[in-house]
Amino acid sequence: ELKVEQNPLFLSMQEGKNYTIYCNYSTTSDRLYWYRQDPGKSLESLFVLLSNGAVKQEGRLMASLDTKARLSTLHITAAVHDLSATYFCAIFMNRDDKIIFGKGTRLHILP
Amino acid sequence: KAGVTQTPRYLIKTRGQQVTLSCSPISGHRSVSWYQQTPGQGLQFLFEYFSETQRNKGNFPGRFSGRQFSNSRSEMNVSTLELGDSALYLCASSLPALPIHFGSGTRLTVV
């Protein structure tokens, strides 16, 4: 069964701390997405990772992809309250042309 | 460049009714996909259209249908609404291997 698993599902952390969200998936994929969703809002695209070893950074967020381990990470550096949101990873299914999402990680950063 | 536009933003329907949701993709994007988001099931793929053809369909009953027009605009229809169809319905458009852009969604409440 195809699975996209994120952990943790809930994370409460202090401002200024570093943390990593993990995304494991159970089938081969050549495309992995990270999205952010604020309460009541739509999904905002953060990163698209297309190849093994890909690393992308935007501000305090950095995403990486290891296709051999079927693992992507989203690293948060020196968290600030504005980063509080739910973060989703998703993989692209080559054979089906569809996207499968993880359940999301709800991140709450305490001021 | 205008983003993905979904209408209406909010809908309240009664059980047994049908509903049609609309999505206008970003100009030049020919792929449109639909997702259902609920607290219990998370983000689930409904279907994807490209050049007026449904390329893929998720695991939803036949009450859920869609179509795409020659201008790439898409509609999805849900017939014989059930309480469990209450959800945020998200439409997304994309170009191959690039970020998928989501609309603001239509929040459907079935009473």
Question: What are the chain B neighbours of A33 within 8 Å (beta carbons)?
Answer: 99-100
Phi-psi region of A64 (alpha: psi -120 to 50; beta: other; left: phi over 0): beta
Question: Which is nearest to A65 in space by CA: A102, A33, A100?
Answer: A33
CB contact under 8 A, A101 and B102: no
Strand B31-38 and strand B87-94: the pairing is antiparallel
Question: What are the chain A neighbours of B55 within 8 Å (beta carbons)?
Answer: 97
Residue of A nearest to B32 (CA): A98
Q: Phi and psi at residue B83, in whole multiples of 5°? A: -55, -35
pLDDT score at B1 = 63
Question: Which is nearest to B90 in space by CA: B29, B28, B27, B42?
Answer: B42
Q: What is the mean pLDDT of residues A94-98?
A: 73
pLDDT score at A51 = 84
User: Going by C-beta distance under 8 Å and a sequence separation of 6 or more, which residues neighbour residue A25?
Assistant: A2, A3, A4, A5, A32, A70, A71, A72, A89, A91, A100
Question: What are the chain B neighbours of A35 within 8 Å (beta carbons)?
Answer: 102
Chain centroid to CA B108: how far? 11
Establish, for the pair of chains A and B, how many residue pairs have beta carbons separated by less than 8 Å. 46
Task: Tell me whether B85 touches chain A (CB under 8 Å).
Answer: no
Q: Report d(CA B77, CA B23) in Å as an integer.
A: 12
CB contact under 8 A, B98 and A48: yes
Query: Per-residue pLDDT tens for B14-64?
Result: 999 999 999 999 999 999 999 999 988 999 999 999 999 998 899 999 999
Strand A19-25 and strand A43-49: the pairing is unpaired
Query: Per-residue pLDDT tens for B69-87?
Result: 999 999 999 999 999 999 9
Chain centroid to CA A111: how far? 22
% of chain B exceeding 90 in pLDDT: 83
State the DSSP H helix or E strand holding residue B14, giving kind and residue range, or none if neither: none
Tokens of B23: 């999505």
